[in-house]
Chains A and B, each alone.
Chain A
Amino acid sequence: MASETHDAAGTASACVDAGGGAIGMPQLCGEWMGNQVFWLVITLIVIFFILSRIALPRIAAVLSERQGTITNDLAAAEDLKVKAQEAEEAYNKALADARAEAQNIVAATKAEIKAELDVATAKADAEIAAKAAEGEKAIAEIRANALVSVKDVAKDTAKELVSAMGGKADARSITSAVTAKLKG
């Protein structure tokens, strides 16, 4: 390393030895300070202008824009939350209304059906009563017919019996006898 830097030995400097090494602390070398201060001032001015003209306003804008976005989003979220609550309330109300209406419809339908049923029952009862009366009439008729038939059969049987025993019975005495027997 030392041999490489021998070329620099020609430099007339109080801070660098013939081998290119530092003499003492390079920080205390007066002849370099002016150069450093000059370039430092340039550097700081350049950095200051980069920061104050471009970087800092831009970052500040980005940050405030983000803050604004966040605030807006939060407000929008709050709005949406309120809307959701309203929607839920409306839904519940609609549900309750629908339930009540359904119950009304159920009650009305029940009443209607009951009325129809009553009408049908009454009609059926009337029909049944009519049919029963008709039947009773038919039975009475049949019974009456049967009584007449019984009288005829008895008269015929009595006449045949009388004639079979060799007697001769007139129709009138037989009829009165049978009638008397039947009544008895």
Chain B
Amino acid sequence: MAEDAKEGGAELVFHPMDQFIVKPLFGDGPVGLFTVTNVTFWMALTVLAIFALLVLGTSGRSTIPTRIQSIAELAYGFIRKMVEDVAGKDALPYFPYIMTLFMFIVFSNFLGLIPGSFTTTSHIAVTAVMAMAVFLAVTILGFVKNGAGFLGVFWISSAPLVLRPVLALIEVISYFVRPVSHSIRLAGNMMAGHAVIKVFAAFAPMVLISTGIGLVVTPLSIIAITAIYALEVLVSFIQAYVFTILTCVYLKDALHPHH
């Protein structure tokens, strides 16, 4: 993947994936289970940002909110309404868990947009843990709440009887694919956008190598970086939203398995 510059900047340097490397924050040792790494650093920043917004921002508890308190209330209302609308009123006890997921993803995504930062949500290990947690929690909850009746989620009673076994098979497969798509969607989106920005960034110094081609390529790649960055700002929010709303949909299946 990496093509090193061998002659002191005479060649373009492509390292689009280097931004995803996990490295120890202090020293150069191997990355063990408990090593403090750039992952730790950016996740800690995420926690601090969430703390600043939702705790420090609301410390006034004012009836007429300040700007930051308005944003915190907006986030609260947004997710609470989503849980209530999508999964129903009886899903509200699980609202703090869903809010945790949303706040973590949205802040990780946006912190990842800081140039030179590390995007924790671009790693499949991170999103897979969250997706698996959602999958297991929803499955266990479904069986605890509904017993064997939870299997009704696979048995589509509105379909013709002949089709039902076929549909049940498809439903079972799609049910087990859920955590995969759920996690890869987020990680893939984050990774792809950041990698593409990096590729364009690698084309940007073209003007230093060849003035003729560079006059065209360099401005184009800078414009492309700007455009994709704007797109990434959208994607950052939308993917957090999608992850959260899918969690709500799965939760709805667990609480009300009959279509």
**A→B interface (CB under 8 Å):** 1-2, 7-8, 10-13, 15-17, 19-29, 31-44, 46-48, 50-52, 54-56, 58-63, 65-66, 69
Contact = CB atoms under 8 A, between A and B. Distances in A.
Contacts of A21: 1-2, 4, 15, 17-18
Given A40-B129, A51-B99, A27 B123 contact: yes
Nearest to A22: B17
Given A26-B17, A40-B129, A69-B63, A48 B97 contact: yes
A171 B164 CA distance: 173
Nearest to B73: A59
Q: Chain B, interface size: which category?
A: 35 or more
A34 B95 CA distance: 28
Nearest to B37: A35
B170 interface: no
Contacts of A48: 96-97, 100
Contact of B13 (A2, A20, A23, A46): A2
A22 B1 contact: yes
Contact of B125 (A11, A19, A36): A36
A34 B33 contact: yes
Given A1-B5, A24-B1, A43-B47, 5 more contacts: A19-B4, A22-B2, A32-B125, A37-B126, A47-B47
Interface stretch (B54-62, B171-179, B210-218): B54-62
Contacts of A15: 21
Contact of A50 (B29, B50, B97, B129): B50
